[in-house]
Chain A
């Protein structure tokens, strides 16, 4: 069951307004009406406008914004990502709260396929900047989800300052990640006070959402870093085929899936009593920008590649088995293979992976600046990502990867209704 099934009430949310497609459809219908003037033109216009511009397809559908948990975690993973981390630049707690409320309204609208603001990209005063930037006009909701998280530095600055009176609400589990062997982290694209993960099946829709949130946030927050991902590298639903990462390998075969609610409760959702009440029903997200040395990888013999991962390159079967979903027999995998070391049986825990491939141009040395923007959700980072990653110290894959950014955020539970807003329980 997907609790984020499209909400039929969403397109006429409290602020009302057109969906982007409907607006587009009306404009087109108007043109038809003019062309057919005098021949019942108005009737043609109305009939055209009343119908969808094109039949809704699954990839274009809206994902519901409200629910027990935030959308964008167990939601079947969309194809595209724009992830953004913000620094809060104001010292005014009320200004931050107002921004979170404005963001929630904009997110509610955009995930329903509407403009970011109630007036829209082209309907407002010619003397005022539009309340939507316009590049998503005509595009459907495209499965857009916006998932918010709060970083450790929102609660306490590096020097311990209680910036917004939230220090006593900082979950014990929300601390900077420890250093791992081989880290090459760039502080300028690590950390952050707030994050928003925008996932959609259309890259323009994801970028549009982040851009508008950043625009609305000017003066209160400032973009610290952001990352585009062009292709998903995990499946979060059994209904999805397992995608391949830039090593050409199937990735995320044994991921936690939305169809296993018990496992999600055990490993992903923060339970009552785990920490402060405001986070119950939420989760923690860890992000790692993992640069892949793909040119080096591409020079390796096929056998070396498969031994490094622990799966066959073609079917994605565990070494020693035939099909992708055959049980993994750890003893048949090399001791330093990635799957063996990362497997829940070895690590004693599980995380929900939700990463994306990226290519950020080139590195000046004739190589693509490419890799995996790793995202995972867990009930507690200490017994989630940290526990898994510590086990990867001897991973043979380390020869081909380099972690260049790191961040952790606490993601509150879902938006409960029309008056709820991101962080309400935290700030109330």
Chain B
């Protein structure tokens, strides 16, 4: 089941080598793929609208390819190239209407899917993509360092989108545009929630960005998203919120700086995947995270997606070492996503207070079932 890979990535992921990879990926424009600095020989047009995703290729030779995604719809979209189990090979986040964005991605031979996600939600509009050519089997170490490189790219692209969305959110707060700020709040947070374990590794940044009122120690000022949430949803003082919004943008920029030099280990991916599910169990499925906006299901969805990305980055290794576990993980991620999907409302999610106890129980059961499998991943990675 493991996807044969041709690309080579640094075997030792030191801070320096990783920073080079990231720089070469052009992470600053919100796109990331395994281009690794190689030049693409083609430029594949992707025409994205609110209801269609036309990719100007369905069969490719193994190698580095460039996609140019043009969004002519009315909703902000995203573009992905997925391998087995929805492992992201490359992605462009946050493509505003009327904008064209490039994606460089290196694709070894195998079966892939492309997806546009108008509104940045759901499974997206999928197309099959077959890549043929020479394949080589990776060594175990190579597969692990590829996993880390892939996931690091994902983290990087999320943080870039987080910077952009947080800035828009802060602008709306400062402009006193409450409906717009309320609409942007859960969306901006999603980028944070997908990579929360990484953010948590940078000391004070997580509490500064994401502390809830009761998390704050006496004598410390409460800052971040949830201060603004309280202001926006309880008719608080928007004038006082301006400096908080500026501070949030600053903290998110600091996070992005830290992430540029991040040095992840394979076990960080495994533990982070479990940590995200524990987050759901602890504060999202209980409705404690977003107690004023009740947008907990946005965070739930983001935690789940982040967990899946961490696990799927490791999928080739898992499929090789424990095929049954890899299959069980696929099944349980699918089941958990299907359970959550029941509560999709348009481009977003139902507010938490709409859910009946039976419905939250169903969500909780699906996360417990998934976490039971994900908890087996660290030992397999550490083998």
Contact = CB atoms under 8 A, between A and B. Distances in A.
B319 to A, nearest CB: 19
Nearest to B358: A188
Contacts of B373: 219
Interface in A82-138: 89, 125, 127-129
Contacts of A387: none
B80 to A, nearest CB: 28
Contacts of A129: 375-376
A44 to B, nearest CB: 36
Q: Is the interface of A mostly helix, strand, loop or mixed?
A: loop
B382 A125 contact: yes
Interface string B330-374: 001000000000000000000000000100010011001111110
Interface in A189-236: 218-220, 222
A222 to B, nearest CB: 5
A89 B370 CA distance: 13
Given A128-B376, A129-B375, A219 B368 contact: yes
A218 B371 contact: yes
Contacts of B370: 219
Contact of B372 (A125, A128, A188, A219): A219
A125 B375 CA distance: 12
Name, among A89, A127, A128, A220, the residue most crowded by chain B CB atoms within 10 Å (CB to CB): A127
A218 B368 contact: yes
B378 interface: yes
Contacts of A219: 332, 368-370, 372-373
A224 to B, nearest CB: 9
A128 B368 contact: no
Given A89-B369, A218-B371, 17 more contacts: A125-B379, A127-B267, A127-B378, A127-B379, A127-B382, A128-B375, A129-B375, A129-B376, A218-B369, A219-B332, A219-B368, A219-B372, A219-B373, A220-B369, A222-B361, A222-B364, A222-B368
Nearest to A125: B379
Given A218-B371, A218-B372, A219-B368, A128 B361 contact: no
Given A218-B372, A219-B372, A219-B373, A128 B379 contact: yes
Interface of A: 89, 125, 127-129, 188, 218-220, 222
Nearest to A219: B369
The 6 closest A-B pairs by CB, nearest first: A219-B369, A128-B379, A218-B372, A127-B382, A127-B379, A127-B378
Contacts of A127: 267, 378-379, 381-382
B55 to A, nearest CB: 36
A13 to B, nearest CB: 24
Nearest to A216: B372
A338 B378 CA distance: 59
A55 B120 CA distance: 67
Interface in B29-84: none
A222 B382 contact: no
Interface residues of B, number: 18
Contacts of B368: 218-219, 222
Nearest to B375: A129
A89 B358 CA distance: 13
A188 B365 CA distance: 15
A144 to B, nearest CB: 24
A127 B375 CA distance: 9
B281 to A, nearest CB: 11
Contacts of A125: 379, 382
Contacts of A220: 369
Contacts of B361: 222
Nearest to B381: A127
A341 B219 CA distance: 66
A89 B365 contact: yes
B304 to A, nearest CB: 15
A218 B375 CA distance: 12
Nearest to A89: B365
A188 B382 CA distance: 41
Interface in B115-165: none
A226 to B, nearest CB: 15
Contacts of B364: 222
B379 A222 contact: no
Nearest to A188: B357
A8 to B, nearest CB: 35
A220 B370 CA distance: 11
A277 B357 CA distance: 39
A222 B361 CA distance: 9
A382 to B, nearest CB: 30
A115 B215 CA distance: 37
Contacts of B378: 127-128
Name, among B364, B365, B373, the residue most crowded by chain A CB atoms within 10 Å (CB to CB): B365
Name, among A129, A188, A219, the residue most crowded by chain B CB atoms within 10 Å (CB to CB): A219
A220 B369 CA distance: 7
B124 to A, nearest CB: 27
A127 B382 CA distance: 7
Contacts of B267: 127
A129 B375 CA distance: 7
B277 to A, nearest CB: 12
A222 B368 CA distance: 9
Contacts of A89: 365, 369
B375 A222 contact: no
Nearest to B368: A218
A158 to B, nearest CB: 13
A125 B361 CA distance: 32
A220 B331 CA distance: 13
Nearest to A214: B368
Contacts of A218: 368-369, 371-372
A383 B153 CA distance: 68
B383 to A, nearest CB: 9
Contacts of A188: 357
B358 to A, nearest CB: 9
Contacts of B357: 188
10 contacts: A125-B382, A127-B378, A127-B381, A128-B379, A218-B369, A219-B368, A219-B369, A219-B373, A222-B361, A222-B364
Nearest to B382: A127
A106 to B, nearest CB: 15
Contacts of B382: 125, 127
B340 to A, nearest CB: 15
Nearest to A87: B365
Contacts of B372: 218-219
Contacts of A128: 375-376, 378-379
